[in-house]
A and B are shown apart, each in its own frame.
Chain A
Amino acid sequence: MELLAEVTGNLGAVGYGLAAIGPGIGVGIVVGKALESIARQPEAIGILRTNMFLGIAFTEALALIGLVAGFIFT
């Protein structure tokens, strides 16, 4: 069968790039919404900040698993 396209180099880098798309959008939404809420209700900043970091941590875990997967599934 004739080759139509070929990829050289490390596919892990491409994989990590794909894995970073979703969490990037997710962290953006989390932080944006948190800032919006803080602007609306500045007195709730303590609980909002804590929950924002929690949301970031959970979302970011996906990107980090993407990073680690490149090392594990070689």
Chain B
Amino acid sequence: MGAILNSDQANVIAASSSEDGFSPPSIIEFFPPKLFEFGPDFLGQPMFAMTRINIIMLIMTTFLLVFFFTALRKPQLVPSGIQNLGEVFLDFVRVQISEEVLGHHAKRFNLLLTTMFFMIFAFNITGILPLMHIAASSVVAVPLILGLTSYFVFNYAGVKQHGLKGYLQMNLFPPGVPLPLYLLVTPIEAVSTFIFRPATLTIRLVANMIAGHMLLVLFYGGANYMLLVSDSFLLKPLGAFSYVAGFAFTLFEILVAFLQAYIFTLLTAVYISGAVSEEH
């Protein structure tokens, strides 16, 4: 869709749909107009462009850097203040995800899993932060890059552990299956391991973030329309209900932001653990 609609058309559509009062949320929200362009010319236009969402990404990356730098700049043996907070977060990923799933392999992959968890959480939580109001991970590029990273890492770890032949054999020809059944098992395993894993990681994150944003826009937009714009007296209680529901879903989105970061990291850890396990 991004290829079909350029930002000018998107603006026109957004403007025309808001004329009749209530504008239901649409997918166009995730293709915001370009704010500025820079870089050398490529196919007649500048190579790079920044949208609102890219700027949110930069802000959250800076925030993460500043937070962990100040928290762990001068680590004390007895932590205090912000160092406590940083250690609690880092410990959560290390104990609850890395060591729980990966066991003695945890040390090798802890850095990757920690980075993934905090990046996803920081990008998700912008969906409810004031002034930002859109999750930075609700454009497919972010989950896609993370999903491909996960895909690359678990395949690399598996190949390094078992060799290419051993790794493929472990995944495609699981032992203990009657010989004719491999006709059925091998294609299913191939598709589910090498195609569905990165695809579902990506889709799960991006669809959750898109759905969350749509819900919030729908409820708050509906409350705004029914309480302030509409003349009908009967719609007012419904508007109030819509506002309360919007607030409830804002709280729910905090949970979703955390849960999606947790699940993405957990699944990456499980895939790695499946790839490096000694026997299957």
* Interface positions of B from 98 to 143, Cβ below 8 Å from A: 100-101
**Contact: B266 with A61, CB < 8 Å?**
no
Q: Determine chain B's interface SS by DSSP, over half rule.
A: helix
Most B Cβ at <10 Å: residue of A46, A47, A57, A60: A57
| B234 touches A (CB below 8 Å) | no
How many Å from the CB of B107 to the closest CB on chain A?
19
**Contact: A64 with B263, CB < 8 Å?**
no
Distance between Cα atoms of A68 and B262 in the complex (Å): 22
**Contact: B211 with A60, CB < 8 Å?**
no
Task: Encode contact with A along B193-209: 1 for CB under 8 Å, 0 otherwise.
Answer: 00000001001100110
Given A46-B100, A53-B262, the answer on whether A67 and B270 have CB atoms closer than 8 Å is no
Distance between Cα atoms of A74 and B201 in the complex (Å): 23
| A8 touches B (CB below 8 Å) | no
Task: Encode contact with B along A26-62: 1 for CB under 8 Å, 0 otherwise.
Answer: 0000000000000000000011001001101110110
Q: Which residue of B lies closest to A72 (CB)?
A: B1
Option from A53, A56, A65 in Cβ contact (under 8 Å) with B203: A65
Contacts of B207 in A (CB 8 A): 64-65, 67-68
Distance between Cα atoms of A46 and B97 in the complex (Å): 10
Given A50-B100, A53-B263, A54-B270, the answer on whether A67 and B211 have CB atoms closer than 8 Å is yes
**Contact: B266 with A64, CB < 8 Å?**
no
Distance between Cα atoms of A71 and B211 in the complex (Å): 12
How many Å from the CB of A62 to the closest CB on chain B?
9
Distance between Cα atoms of A67 and B208 in the complex (Å): 9
* Interface positions of B from 204 to 218, Cβ below 8 Å from A: 204, 207-208, 210-211
Distance between Cα atoms of A67 and B207 in the complex (Å): 7
**Contact: A60 with B204, CB < 8 Å?**
yes
Given A46-B100, A50-B101, A71-B27, the answer on whether A61 and B200 have CB atoms closer than 8 Å is yes
Contacts of B203 in A (CB 8 A): 61, 64-65, 68
Option from B100, B101, B204, B210 in Cβ contact (under 8 Å) with A57: B204
Contacts of A50 in B (CB 8 A): 100-101, 266
Contacts of B1 in A (CB 8 A): 71
Distance between Cα atoms of A71 and B26 in the complex (Å): 10
Contacts of B170 in A (CB 8 A): none
23 contacting pairs across A/B (C-beta < 8 A):
A46-B100, A50-B100, A50-B101, A50-B266, A53-B259, A53-B262, A53-B266, A54-B267, A54-B270, A56-B263, A57-B204, A57-B263, A57-B267, A60-B204, A61-B200, A61-B203, A61-B204, A64-B203, A64-B204, A64-B207, A65-B207, A67-B207, A68-B207
Interface set of B (CB-CB < 8 Å, partner A): 1, 27, 100-101, 200, 203-204, 207-208, 210-211, 259, 262-263, 266-267, 270
* Other A-B pairs beyond A46-B100, A65-B203, A68-B203, 4, CB < 8 Å: A57-B263, A57-B266, A64-B208, A65-B207
